[in-house]
Every structure is written in structure tokens, then in C-alpha cells.
Amino acid sequence: MVKEEEGFKANVPTKIRKRAHIVPREENGIDLSAVSPFAISVCQKLQDAGYKAFIVGGAVRDLLIGAKPKDFDVATDATRKKSKVTRRAIIIGRRFRLVHVNKGAETIEVATFRGFAKQGVTKDEDGVITNDNVFGEQYEDAARRDFTVNAMYFDPISGDLYDYHHGLDDIRERKIRMIGDPATRYREDPVRILRAIRIAAKLGFTIDEKTAAPMHYMQTLLLSVPSARLADEFSKMVLSGSAVACMELMNRYDISIPIPLFDVLKRTFGLPFVRKGLERCDARVALGKSISTSFLFAVLLWHEMKEEVAKSTGKTPGQIYEEAAKKVADSYRWDGLQSRYVSDMAIIWKLQPRFLVRSRRAAMKLLQHPRFRAAYDFLLLRASSGDASHELADWWTAYEGATDEERLEMSKEAEHQDRKERERLRQERAAEGKSEEGEADGEEKEKKKRRRRRKKRFDRSKPSKSEKASSDKEKVSK
């Protein structure tokens, strides 16, 4: 298990700073136009009702480095019933004091400051927090967050930034630094090891030496984390837009996530197909495009899929792929792969052999398939890493962009080519067969020759007809 760090004592209180360094609007450089107007209005409503309300966590960190926040979280001293600022607010969960406020597609998570009250926070014998459902002061809430850059509070009304743990200095130094004693904080929640890596990869920051030091030897604690949470963290890593950077940091610090899907990625990350797949996802996020989870999982498990295809006993390519896809999907179904991702992933795979059939009807049918685009993107990725022919990928690119008449011509031409190719293969096989036949003939001839020679020798050893006749005559005369 985990090596006990020298001097480590269970339940060492995390470093508590009661006073925040307040950086006014003019100095903190946060661009208010980058803040969600809905998040501002939620804070405004809470403040109007006499409460404190701040934008907090990852959003503040992202605003400070000029990145676009993924979502906005609000922290307040209002209790959760009071945080129901609109009728569209929903109280979430029993364990966490959260309220979700929705407007259109946007959800703002409003949480009451969490505190340190001794009777409220309980840790098990390993130091893992088992109950953290306790109200607190803002400074307590700050100290309970993971990294200094994640523990800043921005008041969008006054424009002031509240920094309790020198997060701003760490933003400037581009450092991920744990608040308090890193080993204690990993023990409380081992997922912080993965969060340090994911956030460092996302921001291009380095992990502070002391924060990084216990990560490797404390990773065995991840075994006690429910696999659903690990799978969720794994999905966040690969879908974060910095999947490649995350994997490189995971390798550098020699950290593994104890779920089968991560093992697969660790094994296949070196393959051009998988690496290119992850790069493609990262590039899409950078362009503000969405990534399909099923596509990404289809990439991660393609290697396994091919192994299953090779083993399958199905008769037609359709059956072979069906059988293999089912096997692979079934073995990872509970590993963060929801059913709808599983079925979408299997469709992407099953459409792959259909790209080889380019006859008019088959090609048209494939083009009209609802998952054509994903399957076609998958084919392009395969072609770019030598797993499918460039010619085939180019043909489908041209086919997709062609008019109906052009498509007809293309199919005719392709069919003609495919026929020629089949004929060439047939002839090749026949030629191989013939030469084998030739060899067989030769052997047969040789045998016949040998047989004839043997017979001759035998015949020579027998008396010739004339000899026989004269000897017969001799016998008679005798």
C-alpha cells in the first residue's frame, strides 16, 4: 500500500488563511465581457437579497489566463433553499449543498460555502473525507479547495478578486500548487492526483515539485475510489481538449487510472492511429467544435476490435464485425461507457468493411446512413495512420462531394476497377495454382520416367523374346 510519508500525521489541518488578498477590478485584469451574463445575474440576485456571491473555481482561473471558462460556478453564504434565486432553480443531492440554476442550455452551479466544523467533516481511518456536508466561512471554503489557482473568488458586481492562497502568484508562475500538505490532501481525496494532471495539461502549467512528489507513490489510493468516478475523470481527461498532454503527463509521473479503459489507452497510446485520434479530438476542441464520445471510444478500442475481428467465426464481413463489436463493447460496457455510446461506437466499426463495397446501390446506402459522417471520419483517421488505403479514403471524399451523375460514374468506374482487381487476384491465384500444378506435373513426369527406367532394367534382366524363343526351342529339342 501507500508508503507513509515521513512526518505525516493523519488529520493534519489544511493550511488556513483567514484573510484574502483583495485585488480590485483595475488590477486583476478580468474581462467582464468574458463572464456569462447569466452567472452575473445569479450573483446579483443573491447579493440583492443580502448574501455574498462570487464566481469561483475553474472559471476564475480560466478568466485570469484569458481562456474561455467551460462553465461558471457560484459560491455563496446563502443556504441552499435561499440560493433558489429563480423558479428554475433545482436543489441537487443530499451530500453536497448545491443548487442548479438553469437558463436555456446554461446551468450555473450555486454552492453554499463549505466549512471545517470538526463535528461536520468526518474522515475514515485512511484520512479520506467521508462527509463534508457542512456550512462554513468563505475562508474555510477556500482552504477546502484543491489547488491555489482554483481557490479564488471573483465578485462580478464590484469586480474585486479574493485570493486566499496566492493563487494569482501561481497563475503568473504557471504552477499547479496544492493548498496545504499535498500528501494529506491526496489522502482525503486521491482523485486530486488526476485533477492535478488534467488541469496542468489543460493550462500548460507545471506541477509544483512538492505537489507532484507524492503523486506516484500515493496512486494506489485510487484503487479505493469508486470506478464510476474514475471513469468520469478518465472521460474528462480524454475529452478535455488536452488529451495528448494529459497522457504525456500521466506517463511522465508514471500514474495509472485503475480501470480497464485506461489500461487500453496506456497500451495503445504509442500507436499512430490512437495518437492521431487523440490529436484530432484536441484540435476539434481548440476550434470550439464538439467531440463525439462514441467516436473517441471507437478510436481507443479499435485495436481490441481488430483482434476480435481476427478471431471471429462469422461468415460475412457484416457478421464478423457484428460479433466482434458485441464482444468488445460488452467487456467495457460498465467502464464509463454508457449504452448509447456503446451502440454508436459499434456502428462506426460495423460500417468500416462497407466502405470497401462501392457499387451504386451499396455506396448510396452507406452515404445515406445516419452515422455515415462519423464512420467516414473514422476511415480518414485510419487512412492517415496506414490502417486503410489512402485511395479508398480519397474516393469516398470525392464521392461525398459529387453530384448524383458523377456518383453514378464513380460507382461504375469503381465497380469496373474492383472487378479488374478481383480478376487480377483470381489470375494471380490461378497462376500460383498453375505453377504448383506445373511442379506437380514435373514430379509426376519424373516418377513416370523412374518407373519406365526401372521397368527397362527389369525387362533387360529378363530374356528377350528371341532369347526366350531359342531357349524354348532348346528345351523342346532336349
Q: Mind telling me the catalytic residues? A: 71, 73, 146
Residue 222 C-beta: closest distance to ligand ATP, Å: 13
- Are 234 and 259 a contacting pair, CB within 8 Å? yes
Segment contacting ligand ATP (CB under 6 A): 170-178, 186-194, 303-311, 355-363?
Answer: 186-194
- Rounded to whole angstroms, the Cα distance separating 213 from 253 reads 9
Among 290, 295, 305, 297, smallest CA distance to 262 is for 297
Q: Work out whether 58 is an interface residue with Mg ion (CB under 5 A).
A: yes
Closest-by-Cβ residue to Mg ion is 58
Among 43, 46, 54, 57, binds ligand ATP (CB under 6 A): 57
Helices within 288-403 (DSSP H only): 293-300, 302-311, 317-332, 339-350, 360-367, 372-384, 390-401
> Residue 82 touches which of ligand ATP, Mg ion, none (CB < 5 to 8 A by kind)?
none
- Rounded to whole angstroms, the Cα distance separating 16 from 265 reads 39
Nearer to ligand ATP, 58 or 127 (CB): 58
Nearer to ligand ATP, 225 or 325 (CB): 225
Residue 15 C-beta: closest distance to ligand ATP, Å: 14
**Nearest 5°: CA angle at 362, between 356 and 366?**
80
Among 97, 114, 175, 192, binds ligand ATP (CB under 6 A): 192
> Residue 255 touches which of Mg ion, ligand ATP, none (CB < 5 to 8 A by kind)?
none
Q: Is 185 left (phi over 0), alpha (psi -120 to 50) or beta?
A: alpha
Segment contacting ligand ATP (CB under 6 A): 15-23, 185-193, 285-293, 409-417?
Answer: 185-193
Nearer to ligand ATP, 73 or 170 (CB): 73
- Are 187 and 40 a contacting pair, CB within 8 Å? no
> Residue 189 touches which of ligand ATP, Mg ion, none (CB < 5 to 8 A by kind)?
ligand ATP
Size of the site for ligand ATP (CB under 6 A): 12
- Rounded to whole angstroms, the Cα distance separating 478 from 475 reads 5
Q: What is the grid cell recorded at 254?
A: 508514471
- Rounded to whole angstroms, the Cα distance separating 471 from 478 reads 10
Nearer to Mg ion, 58 or 190 (CB): 58
Binding to ligand ATP, residues 123-182 (CB under 6 A): 145-146, 150-151
Nearer to ligand ATP, 145 or 280 (CB): 145
Query: Which residue is listed with cell 504557471?
Result: 174
Q: What is the DSSP letter of 432?
A: H
> Residue 190 touches which of Mg ion, ligand ATP, none (CB < 5 to 8 A by kind)?
none
Contacts with Mg ion, residue ranges (CB under 5 A)? 58
